[in-house]
Amino acid sequence: MFKRIDDGFSRHPKLCEISSQRPLTRDVGIWLDGERHHVPETLSVAGAVLLVKGWQGYRRHADGSDRAPLCMMGACHDCLITIDGQGNRQGCLERVVEGMHIERQKGHRHD
């Protein structure tokens, strides 16, 4: 019923050699709540926070419940976070960069 699609990558000697010699991404150093972490440069800010802290550690709502990004495309605003001193930034729409300072927001929006 279904036909397996073989992209040939795993059998291609040159591609296998290249992929085994160097990583596909490099890590960047970020500051998250005052602690230094290294994460892949391809991650969004929300993705980096989820990688380091897990979904329970992303954000706490005013009623005490844990919140985490839901849509990862900017629609739900559950990814609001402080980036380099600017509050209410959508972490799912920002890519991490070297030296970025990220602080998780607690409670209501920070205006």
Could you report the per-residue pLDDT of 85-99, keeping only the tens digit for each?
A: 999 999 999 999 999
Paired residues of 35 in beta bridges:
32
Confidence of residue 59 (pLDDT cuts 50, 70, 90): confident
pLDDT recorded at residue 16: 52
Q: Which CATH class is domain 25-104?
A: alpha beta
d(Cα 58, Cα 6) in Å, to the nearest integer?
Answer: 38
> Are 100 and 86 in contact, with CB atoms under 8 Å apart?
no
> Are 84 and 31 in contact, with CB atoms under 8 Å apart?
no
d(Cα 21, Cα 69) in Å, to the nearest integer?
Answer: 34
* Domain-wise residue ranges, the chain: 25-104
More confidently predicted of 37 and 19: 37
More confidently predicted of 50 and 105: 50
